[in-house]
Structure 1
Amino acid sequence: MKHFLKIIAVAFVALLIISCEKDEDQAIINEVNQAKISSDKTTVVLNEVTSGDAVINFTWTKPTFNIAVVTQQQIEFGVKGKGFKDSSTFDVSNDLIKSPMTHAQMNAAMYSCGAIPDVSNQIEIRLKTIVGSGFFYSNVINVTVTPYTPNPDLVYPKINVPGAYAGAAGYADWTPGNSPNLFSPEKDGKYRGFIYVTTLASDKGKYKFAINQNWPGNKGDDGTNTGKLKVDGSDITASAVGTHYLKVDWSANTYSAVAANFGIIGDATPTGWNSDTDFVYNPATKKYEIASIQLSSTGLFKFRANDDWAIKFQPANADQTLVSGTAVQTYLNIEDTVTGDSGYKVTVAGNYKIELDLHNSADYKLKITKL
């Protein structure tokens, strides 16, 4: 019996020790001195022309703790009044106590935290110190920032579509760094976009997918021609001459290609809703163009593919009046970016040149110019 009681006593003491150790782990890190950050400017206007130049300098003192710890440092940005919700961060080396930021770096941070381009935004900034799974923050400073509208070609992830078709489309054959790109508007590893194939003769309709504008890691068909990819796989051959809409899931190693040749149709056009006037691809501009078409001011027009309604470019959610010489973003219905069945219109009847720029699936552009 005494031996049994000893065992219980030992177990009870061990439990107390474990409990104390857990309490000590929870309270073991204490911030002795809070970090403090400052900047050399309180107002900055960002400029893409000087994107590589420093625009602001941050200086800070690090927090100190009651024990030695390994830390990571970030400068955190948030729109004032949002309590750093949807904030963005800029990593800085742990051995630094000051750092510049370029126009491009600052603009990327503004874009990520939800600042509005081309107007002044009140931005809150603080130093974020990471210790394990814990976060410690400095004081908050305020800077007025006017971001620029970021170039969508630089903002969104992309893969390249090098091939034998590319030279005739205004690029260079089999050159990843000079070929059409597929972009990932959702930044989720899924890419989409368009290529134009002028001929299938002499294997001129072949292509593959590359990344980082180089050949290492390129992907081609796995040899089954069933929409599956593998690294260093076989060349893919376009099914027909014309425009093709491509989709690639990079991590799942799958792809698809659909012919999509666009034209304009509507009661604002000479042939009404009965037939399309087709776009012509211009390799010099890398755009789809209708050199001249008469548009009325009393009707609507849309842009559809393959003389059918399955694939079409439209305004996002309501009829849109186009202004001569001003490009607007247009949306592809099969990408789930369109609500309803809206169309375009003009307020002044006349002959117009129409340009459709499909080089970036995150920012398709439509422009009409009165002749």
Structure 2
Amino acid sequence: MSCEEDKDLTKINENDFVAPVLSGIVVDQEFVLVKDTTSVDSLKEIWAVLTWTKADYGKPLATTYTVQIDKVGSDFANPIEFNNASENEISILVETINTKMFNMEDNYYPPLVEANVEIRIKAIVSEYIDPVYSAVTQFYLTPYDAGKPKLYVTGTHQPIPWDFASAQTLYSLNEDKNYEGYIYLTDCEYKLNKTPDIAWGAGATAGTIAIDGPNFSNATEGMYWITVDTLDATINTALHNWGVIGSATPGGWDTDTNMEFDFDLKKLKVTLNLTADFIKFRVNDAWTINLGDNDADGTMEQGGSDIAVPSAGNYTVYLDLSNPERFSYELVKN
């Protein structure tokens, strides 16, 4: 900051500041972001053109403006931000706002779920003077799913029954009609949701699916490998009981130690004593499906190398099967 600007700051009265006035979004306006897979250009479409009047400090001062968006009630504690230097207009692309929502790990916005949010303009002239904010405008924003296409398995097996936002998911790895993945089911009823309002239920015959069909029923609790073909309208489920086995475990290479599912973490886990030796993971007390780690990097491969336990002790072992592209594990010493 120059000496001249510093002198100007000593002469201004913060009580006389006039805040920016935001335009471009109105109260309770609803936006549904759409990813059109048939057109790359759809992601380059403009979501909103925001303009605002410049903050008035009683004299011309270099001002930096930031657009802030956060969930209603959060008091902008962890906002999405767009910095716009000294300009008082910004065009925000569909892809840009959705990517920012998708990457907010500490302030998660579930895809395809309407979020009640609010927006404001933050104006700053100096670190020594409190920012000036525009009035807050509340509106609604629904992000699209930025990852692979998914089916959300909602039902009575969930801690919050039928909750779309917290549902376990099946993935379409090739972004086509085929979906697959591991889902932990209890004695429950469930459906396959494409969106909160569009879901497949049971078809007229076993192993088939139908839009708006009755709920699927599951009787035996456990982890299921599920494959779905939405074009041929078929579903297949196979019960996979996962366990830890190996020379480091109490049962050695002869007896599995079964794992249980943690609904909060969406991972399988087990706590047990391990020696400084080796483990693997396998299904249904057999070697047909078994996971190891070829590169000792925490990711899994079918039939992969034995996993070394670094030192003897009591461990909680985690197995994350939520993403069929990348199974992973973690050994946490207690």
Q: 1:234 to 1:285 in 2, by over 3 A?
A: same
Residue 224 (structure 1) aligned to one of 200, 205, 214: 205
- Answering whether residue 144 of structure 2 is matched by residue 159 of structure 1, we say no
Matches for 1:97-176 after TM superposition, within 5 Å: 99-100=91-92, 102=96, 105=99, 154-166=146-158, 171-176=159-164
- Specify the alignment match of 1:179 in structure 2: 167
| Equivalent-residue separation in structure 2 for 1:234 and 1:184 (angstroms) | 23
Using the aligned pairs only, state the percent identity. Answer: 29
Q: Post-superposition shift, 1:239? A: 4.9
- Specify the alignment match of 2:329 in structure 1: 366
Contact 1:287/1:358 (CA < 8 Å) preserved in 2?
A: yes
| Equivalent-residue separation in structure 2 for 1:189 and 1:359 (angstroms) | 19
Matches for 1:215-294 after TM superposition, within 5 Å: 216-225=197-206, 227-294=207-274
Contact 2:256/2:285 (CA < 8 Å) preserved in 1?
A: yes
Which protein has the larger Cα radius of gyration, Structure 1 or Structure 2?
A: 1
| Equivalent-residue separation in structure 2 for 1:174 and 1:305 (angstroms) | 28
Contact 2:273/2:312 (CA < 8 Å) preserved in 1?
A: no
Q: 1:103 to 1:343 in 2, by over 3 A?
A: farther
Once superposed, what is the RMSD of the aligned Cα atoms?
3.3
The structure with the greater share of residues assigned to helix is: 1
SS state of the match for residue 165, structure 2? helix
| Equivalent-residue separation in structure 2 for 1:105 and 1:287 (angstroms) | 26
1:207 maps to a residue whose letter is Y
- Specify the alignment match of 1:14 in structure 2: none
Q: Post-superposition shift, 1:55? A: 6.4
- Specify the alignment match of 1:95 in structure 2: none
Q: Deviations over 1:87-121 (max 9, x none)?
A: xxxxxxxxxxx95553764999xxxxxxxxxxxxx
Residue 329 (structure 1) aligned to one of 275, 299, 319: 299
Q: TM-score, normalised by structure 1?
A: 0.50
| Equivalent-residue separation in structure 2 for 1:154 and 1:263 (angstroms) | 33
- Specify the alignment match of 1:308 in structure 2: 286
Contact 1:55/1:103 (CA < 8 Å) preserved in 2?
A: no
- Answering whether residue 322 of structure 2 is matched by residue 350 of structure 1, we say no
Residue 188 (structure 1) aligned to one of 176, 198, 209: 176
Contact 1:221/1:230 (CA < 8 Å) preserved in 2?
A: yes
| Equivalent-residue separation in structure 2 for 1:286 and 1:107 (angstroms) | 22
Gaps of at least 5 residues in structure 1 are: 1-48, 58-97, 109-152, 322-327, 334-339
| Equivalent-residue separation in structure 2 for 1:273 and 1:56 (angstroms) | 61
